[in-house]
Amino acid sequence: MSRLIGAPPGYVGFDQGGLLTDAVIKHPHAVLLLDEIEKAHPDVFNLLLQVMDNGTLTDNNGRKADFRNVVLVMTTNAGVRETERKSIGLIHQDNSTDAMGEIKKVFTPEFRNRLDNIIWFDHLSGEVIHQVVDKFIVELQAQLDQKGVSLEVSQEARDWLAEKGYDRAMGARPMARVIQDNLKKPLGQ
């Protein structure tokens, strides 16, 4: 907590603000992404309740960070298993009610009632996965351009990268490692 709102009086670093409060004071119009919020310490949830209730957060120096123009986006894996359950027969089954039950188990009513909306995301389509591959290739080409090197990646290689860099459970997170191991490292040798 001291890293977010600053160290309490008498502790080393008391005169410095917290990472979160300082960032919001410097950038009052921002999007704050809290990834996998279900893993956060209970004290973080209490801190977020203050932010969502009052629109402000006071650091340990008494400075108020104004969150009224900060968009809070929180991701969670709570309820994912429930939404992935297969439908029986030919009719698509909506499992969002079951997923909502899991969210109710993970997050307190006080916390849930302060959320404006819960948005369910689908898995990435093949087209989107290929766009992710293309994004990584464009970034790599920009690095190579500085060295006067041109990169040509065949459609077959792009398809292979898309297949190896995507995991249904992990999404496209493995893509960076696949690009690193199969394009960047060989190019560096």
- pLDDT score of 27: 94
Q: What are 170's two structure tokens?
A: 């992990």
Where among 112, 139, 160 does a domain terminate? 112
- The answer to whether residue 14 sits within a structural domain is yes
Q: Are residues 74 and 17 in the same domain?
A: yes
Mean pLDDT of the chain: 82
Where among 78, 112, 146 does a domain terminate? 112
The CATH number of the domain holding residue 93 is: 3.40.50.300
The structure tokens 């997170």 sit at 173
Render pLDDT for 23-71 as a digit per residue (tens, 0 to 9).
Answer: 899 999 999 998 998 988 888 888 889 899 999 988 777 888 899 999 9
The CATH number of the domain holding residue 143 is: 1.10.8.60
* CA distance linking residue 189 with residue 170, whole number of Å: 29
* CA distance linking residue 51 with residue 72, whole number of Å: 10
Q: Are residues 55 and 14 in the same domain?
A: yes
- The answer to whether residue 90 sits within a structural domain is yes
